[in-house]
Structure 1
Amino acid sequence: MIDEYMLNKKEDIKNLTVYQRETSFANTKEFVITVVGPRRAGKSYYLYHIIKSNKLNDDEYLFLNFEDESLRSMPRREVLSCVAKHTEIYGKQPEYVF
């Protein structure tokens, strides 16, 4: 189930039209970057913009939306195995987790 969710989410992101954002972030793998804001303010689309503008390959990132009902309805153990499942599918751990 989690592998199907991950693959479907990446397909969804590929098919999105994302527009340039006025904000930017320091591209780093050394620190956690937090994107905060009110509901429906564009936080998820900002993350999609980061993925697309950096031309991240599927094996480079993992995207989880904990407000997505299909993810929320999965057993907790399965959701917690997402990094291991990503590694199983792509042969390496994700460099970015969104």
Structure 2
Amino acid sequence: MLVRDDVIDYFREYESLPQDILERELKVPMESEFIISIIGPRRAGKTYFLFSLSKKIENQVYLNFEDPRLAEINYRELRDVIRIYMEIYGRNPRYLLLDEIQNMENWEKAVR
């Protein structure tokens, strides 16, 4: 179940996280119009990479579905999370960075 205050708290906490991130060699073609998946074995650094990417690009939403405030969100509520982002920041995000999206039941429907 989506709790608006939890989502707002999540976005505010994200903004306060440090900007100094260790650079990785992997590059992602941000000009692509296609969905890009970052895949790899457990503990390989996918979450760190996605988080560091989120700190380098503007106009993006980084959502980590292992965060307890987002863990219970269903695929239908993902649009509501984006609406809350737009209310807070006054813009429509260009990029959606969805970390641990497999934790969301029926996540495939959310990314169509």
Unpaired segments ≥5 residues, structure 2:
1-5, 98-112
Question: Is the Cα–Cα contact under 8 Å of residues 60 and 96 in structure 2 kept in the other structure?
Answer: yes
Match of 2:15 among 10, 14, 19: 10
TM-score (norm 1): 0.75
Aligned Cα RMSD in Å?
A: 2.3
* 3-state SS in 2 of match to 1:39: coil
1:32 aligns with 2:35: yes
More helix by share: 1
Superposed structure 1 runs of 4+ greater than 2 Å apart:
51-54, 75-80
* 3-state SS in 2 of match to 1:64: strand
Unpaired segments ≥5 residues, structure 1:
none
TM-score (norm 2): 0.67
Aligned length: 91
User: Which protein has greater RCO, CA pairs closer than 8 Å, 6+ apart?
Assistant: 1
Q: Percent identity?
A: 32
